[in-house]
Chain A
Amino acid sequence: MASTTVPTSPVTGSALLLIRFITGWHAMLALGLGLLAWLITQGELLQQDVLRPVAVGLALIGAVASLIAAPLVLRRDRRGRLLSMGLNYILAVGCLLMLLGALGLYTGLDLIAERFYSWAWLLVGLLVGFLIAALGDRYTHVPTTQALFQRMGNLIMAATILFLLLLMGLPQGLLALLSGLRTPWTLGLLGGTVIFGLAFWLFWRPTGARMFAAGERDAEVISGYLFIAPNLIGFLLFFAGPLLFSLWLSFTDSDSFKASFIGLRNYVDIFSLQLVSVQSPAQNANELLSRGYLELTRFGTLVIGARDRIFWIALWNTSVFCFWVTLLSALPALLVANILNSKIPGMQIFRALYFIPSIAGVVGVAVIWKWLYNSNIGFLNYGINQIIGLLNWLPGVELVPVAIPWLASQQTALASLILMAAWQLLGFNTILFLAGLQSIPGEVYEAATIDGASVWQRFRYMTLPLLAPTSFFVVTTTLITTLQVFSEPFVMTPTPGGGPNNATMTAVLYLYQQGFNRFNQGYAAAVAWVLFLFIFAVTLIQFRLQRRYGEM
């Protein structure tokens, strides 16, 4: 679409001055940001070693952008205007966010949120005010009465808010703001916010647009970016930023407090494997493996050693967990969805019942299941022993009561977690399948029935193919969810670490332990990226299979 351009306004003295001023401003800004980057590298401004490279990188990017913007602005190139505005906007918002942080806004909000419950009763005042104001609408035929009600309602709401703010500490906040603004740091941030904001505004206003012959399309682009800016900033700050930061960390030996670049060493440690042959199955392979390697598994006399044995165990456990939970939560869900899709009275209740585990918190559910699984006082063993007791009434049957250590045995611990997770995911998958089933037109089944198709044939040749997109969605989401399993082993088999002999150690639990128990943040980040690639590969295979399946 061709953009509508506005003729460049003749360069008046004041416009020329502004252009030159902004050009100079960007040159200075580039210099300032470069200086900032240098100071950060000297350790002058930022204490945390870990953040230093990131801060330097950002400052240099800003400096380069500013350096590029300067000549473009001087030439009255529209790209220069956009670049200048973008840079000034980001810096203004950045200064403002830091200023609010320096003034204690974020911790203050935390404190207010912590204590809000004790003031929550005041919200009744807001409700009353709103109801009174709304009551005025019943008197549209008497404007004075209507206005009276609305005024009263608004007054009550405003008074409630004011009272609430006073309780929250508005006067103290005002005083804190005034005293907080007296430090050079906060004053600098305030100045930065105003100056960058002003620089942004100077080009944003119509006069600024005319200097660059910017048309409606430019205005639309800027308006669009401004509208999405809050969300975009949030995305960059809390998602993309940390994601890239973790990628950077994975190339360091970060322990949360200091970090040195070590290249691919973390990844090398993760993937280092060694093959050795033992003379006999009884031989201890660790004696043959290089220092730092431990036996991972063996096939006959061939032994695979790994530098990080636990990572591979965790990856294996995660894969097993993922496979079985996907299978046990998807297939039964398909069956249950078919049953729930019938028009039997009371089916709505069953649909709700099946969905309940999905909305329950994983931690809460895990704690309950932990008790159910207790070998001594758990209901599961109790139930089994009750059944054994009943069977023992039969002639010739003499079964011994069991005390299965569900979570304490290496053989059953992971299976126990699988069972619980499958139970919890079943409801959600059922609802997805149910939605898929209900989107299949009934006429199709009617036609098939008339043609003599049996129940199985209808299911095999009609339901399953028509449910393929739903099945793909169910399997994919379940796979991704289960590959990130953490809460279940963390809560149910807490000590030591990953259950009996690492039987329930999963990839995310392992990276958590590396990062937060052992201060190995760099290594944990590398594990996280390996897991990401693993999930990505599995999902990609899924997509390929789905495409092939869909084309058949």
Chain B
Amino acid sequence: MQRMQRLLAWISLMAIMGLTLAACGGAPAAQPTAAPAPTAAPAPTAAPAPTAAPAPTAAPAPTAAPAESTIRWRTRPDNQAEIDVYQTISDRLDGELDGIALVYEPGGSEGASYQDVLRTELAAGTAPDVFWIPGTDVADFGTRGLILDMRSLADATDGYSDSDFYPGPMFHLTFNPENGSNGEVLWGLPRDVSTFALYINNDLIEQAGAPDPRELAAKGEWDWDAFVETAVAVTNLGGDVKGFGMNAWWANPGLFINSAGGGFFSEDRTACALDSDESIAGMEFASRLYNELNVAVPYGEDSEPPFLAGNVGMFLNGRWATPGTRANAQFDWDVVEVPAGPAGARSWLFWGAYVINADTKDPEAAWKLVQALTRADIQGQISELGANIPSRVSDEAIQAFLGFSPPANNQAFINNLANNPAVEGPLWAGSWPEFDAAMGARMTAVLTGAQTIDEYRANVCNEANQAFDK
């Protein structure tokens, strides 16, 4: 018996030592990153535009030794389908980029605190080499020195031009906070852009006898009054049905503020402008929907489930809501441009960017990956999923996006993009999270009826302006 116990002790000891040794080498790769399967290749029409494709030989790689460099990269996918596409793209680029081995790490979705995890990893020194961040975070990451200024790499690359991308995001991505000029730095390249649109339940709108918003938009009659009439008509169907829904996020009330001619910030983005007459007019309109007309899903409730359940006539959201709607909506749906307010139909231009970790061991390889990920054909491949609008000003990429149907009226997103949208952006002279927290709480208070618009006006900028003291 003792011998048996001794033997088992030895086996256990050897197992522990073996495990320790095996761990020193890391686990074997999950799968070989060989050439992509033929099915993963993009459609011939999605081939990279000659002018857009960076010339690999032009990369400033004096130390571009043949030794393989491993680059970890991450983006925030919204669902498994996106994870699969990004993995396919990673495998494909792994085969295309000589001397670079790619490891794709899907980040958590929006609810999984993607940015919080990323910040923690950056502090611990374990963040990936290349990662995506939302546009509002660029200043925070850039001024803290967490992301690399890619300008020298870009300047040394043939075929690269800032103007290949939409100017709104590039304004912030090339902003130098030290002297307030543009073009001297390059914090990242935009992964995609998106605008708001109204997802509409055609069945409910028809049942309510309201005119088709798409037809009104085509005739230029889709304004706040028409929007309210439609929302009221749908709500009057009774029961749990509501005419309108939007989630509790700064951008949603912000749409009405923009369309009223207001904005969050002063012209130079150094002070709060939420209490200007125009901004207040936008909030008043939004408040009316909730507190006077009672045509909206209560602010703070997730409006997407009731919309998908067929209980909401119009749901305000970005392009990213399309895959979920396609998968779950059991009714006739489409999208329409946002309604025009006093200052027109001013949607948002949302964007996020691929940036390079300042601590990456191989900036050249990381830059090559960022360039590759923002190529027209790669963006087209992602756009085919329906969640993103390509960030590259490219007919090819736009055509790939428009070809994704339903929704039939994809053009609504593009129209909103062309209609002077307000660009989502970081605060270079303050703390966006502080501003967001102060603004969000006050907006919620108004839209849930806990506060009057006068109280809001008297307090919101007092609180939000503290973000500029940080």
Q: Let me know if B300 and A407 touch, CB within 8 A.
A: yes
Q: Let me know if A377 and B305 touch, CB within 8 A.
A: yes
Of residues 283 to 308 in A, which have CB atoms within 8 Å of B's CB atoms?
284, 286, 292, 294-295
Write the chain A residue with the least CB distance to B300. Answer: A408
Of residues 396 to 453 in B, which have CB atoms within 8 Å of A's CB atoms?
431, 433-434, 436-437, 440-442, 444-445, 448, 450-451
Q: Which residues of B contact A500 (CB under 8 A)?
A: 248, 299-300, 444-445, 448, 450
**The stretch of A10-18, A76-84, A165-173, A441-449 that contacts the partner chain:** A165-173
Q: Let me know if B21 and A177 touch, CB within 8 A.
A: yes
Contact status of A112 and B22, CB under 8 A, knowing A161-B14, A161-B15, A496-B248: yes
Q: Which residues of A contact B459 (CB under 8 A)?
A: 284, 286, 294-295
Task: State the Cβ distance, B53 to closest chain A Cβ, in Å.
Answer: 35
- Interface of B, secondary structure class, is helix
A310 at the interface (CB under 8 A from B): yes
Q: Which residues of A contact B302 (CB under 8 A)?
A: 374
A409 at the interface (CB under 8 A from B): yes
Q: Which residues of B contact A420 (CB under 8 A)?
A: none
Write the chain B residue with the least CB distance to A310. Answer: B437
* Number of residue pairs spanning A and B whose beta carbons lie under 8 angstroms apart: 205
Q: Let me know if A104 and B26 touch, CB within 8 A.
A: yes
Contact of A377 among B24, B306, B431, B441 (CB under 8 A): B306
CA distance A172 to B27 in the complex (A): 9
Task: State the Cβ distance, A278 to closest chain B Cβ, in Å.
Answer: 12
Write the chain A residue with the least CB distance to B298. Answer: A405
B320 at the interface (CB under 8 A from A): no
A262 at the interface (CB under 8 A from B): no
Q: Let me know if B466 and A292 touch, CB within 8 A.
A: yes
Q: Let me know if B27 and A168 touch, CB within 8 A.
A: yes
Q: Let me know if A516 and B120 touch, CB within 8 A.
A: yes
A274 at the interface (CB under 8 A from B): no
Q: Let me know if A154 and B11 touch, CB within 8 A.
A: yes
Q: Let me know if B18 and A284 touch, CB within 8 A.
A: no
Task: State the Cβ distance, B297 to closest chain A Cβ, in Å.
Answer: 6
CB 8 Å contact bits of B201-222 with A (1 = contact, 0 = none)? 0000000000000000000000
Q: Which residues of A contact B25 (CB under 8 A)?
A: 104, 108, 169-177
B28 at the interface (CB under 8 A from A): yes
Contact of A376 among B11, B140, B144, B242 (CB under 8 A): B242
CB 8 Å contact bits of A395-422 with B (1 = contact, 0 = none)? 0000000010101111101000000000
Q: Let me know if A108 and B24 touch, CB within 8 A.
A: yes
Write the chain A residue with the least CB distance to B458. Answer: A284
Write the chain B residue with the least CB distance to A493. Answer: B300
Contact of A108 among B26, B145, B458 (CB under 8 A): B26
CA distance A150 to B27 in the complex (A): 32
Q: Let me know if B23 and A165 touch, CB within 8 A.
A: no
Task: State the Cβ distance, A255 to closest chain B Cβ, in Å.
Answer: 7
Q: Which residues of A contact B21 (CB under 8 A)?
A: 165, 170, 173-174, 177
Q: Which residues of B contact A517 (CB under 8 A)?
A: 115-116, 433
Contact of B306 among A109, A374, A501, A519 (CB under 8 A): A374
Write the chain A residue with the least CB distance to B113. Answer: A516
Write the chain B residue with the least CB distance to A161. Answer: B15
Q: Let me know if B144 and A519 touch, CB within 8 A.
A: yes
Q: Which residues of B contact A407 (CB under 8 A)?
A: 300-301
CB 8 Å contact bits of B10-37 with A (1 = contact, 0 = none)? 0100110011111111111010000000
Q: Let me know if B301 and A374 touch, CB within 8 A.
A: yes
Central interface residue in B120, B144, B302, by most chain A CB within 10 Å = B302
CB 8 Å contact bits of A439-476 with B (1 = contact, 0 = none)? 00000000000000000000000000000000000000
Task: State the Cβ distance, A66 to closest chain B Cβ, in Å.
Answer: 30
B160 at the interface (CB under 8 A from A): no
CA distance A513 to B441 in the complex (A): 14
Q: Let me know if A519 and B119 touch, CB within 8 A.
A: yes
A225 at the interface (CB under 8 A from B): no
CA distance A177 to B22 in the complex (A): 9
Contact of B4 among A103, A133, A284, A497 (CB under 8 A): A133
B247 at the interface (CB under 8 A from A): yes
Q: Let me know if B248 and A495 touch, CB within 8 A.
A: yes
Q: Let me know if B297 and A375 touch, CB within 8 A.
A: yes
CA distance A114 to B247 in the complex (A): 35
A180 at the interface (CB under 8 A from B): yes
A335 at the interface (CB under 8 A from B): no
Q: Which residues of A contact B181 (CB under 8 A)?
A: none
Task: State the Cβ distance, A138 to closest chain B Cβ, in Å.
Answer: 14
A499 at the interface (CB under 8 A from B): yes
Write the chain B residue with the least CB distance to A174. Answer: B21
Task: State the Cβ distance, A440 to closest chain B Cβ, in Å.
Answer: 46
Contact status of A165 and B19, CB under 8 A, knowing A255-B144, A376-B240: yes
Write the chain A residue with the least CB distance to B117. Answer: A516
CA distance A105 to B17 in the complex (A): 12
Q: Which residues of B contact A107 (CB under 8 A)?
A: 26
B146 at the interface (CB under 8 A from A): yes
Q: Which residues of A contact B267 (CB under 8 A)?
A: none
Q: Which residues of B contact A257 (CB under 8 A)?
A: 122-123, 144-146
B463 at the interface (CB under 8 A from A): yes
Contact status of A294 and B22, CB under 8 A, knowing A496-B441, A519-B119: no
Q: Let me know if B23 and A108 touch, CB within 8 A.
A: yes
Q: Let me know if A169 and B440 touch, CB within 8 A.
A: no
Q: Let me know if A405 and B300 touch, CB within 8 A.
A: yes
CB 8 Å contact bits of A309-350 with B (1 = contact, 0 = none)? 110000000000000000000000000000000000000000
Task: State the Cβ distance, B418 to closest chain A Cβ, in Å.
Answer: 29
Q: Let me know if A518 and B441 touch, CB within 8 A.
A: no
CB 8 Å contact bits of A147-191 with B (1 = contact, 0 = none)? 000100010011001100101111111111100100000000000
Q: Let me know if A161 and B22 touch, CB within 8 A.
A: no
Q: Which residues of A contact B20 (CB under 8 A)?
A: 100, 105
Q: Let me know if B448 and A408 touch, CB within 8 A.
A: yes
Of residues 493 to 530 in A, which have CB atoms within 8 Å of B's CB atoms?
493-502, 513, 516-519
CA distance A169 to B21 in the complex (A): 9
B7 at the interface (CB under 8 A from A): yes
Q: Let me know if B437 and A403 touch, CB within 8 A.
A: no
Q: Let me know if A409 and B4 touch, CB within 8 A.
A: no
CA distance A494 to B301 in the complex (A): 10
Q: Which residues of A contact B440 (CB under 8 A)?
A: 495-497
A75 at the interface (CB under 8 A from B): no
Q: Let me know if B300 and A409 touch, CB within 8 A.
A: yes
Task: State the Cβ distance, A101 to closest chain B Cβ, in Å.
Answer: 11
Closest A-B pairs by Cβ, 10 of them: A408-B300, A496-B440, A108-B23, A173-B25, A405-B298, A172-B25, A111-B27, A256-B123, A176-B25, A501-B445
Q: Beyond A108-B25, A150-B4, A496-B436: 15 further Cβ-contacts under 8 Å?
A: A108-B22, A111-B23, A111-B27, A161-B14, A172-B25, A284-B458, A292-B466, A294-B466, A374-B305, A375-B301, A376-B240, A500-B299, A517-B115, A517-B116, A519-B144
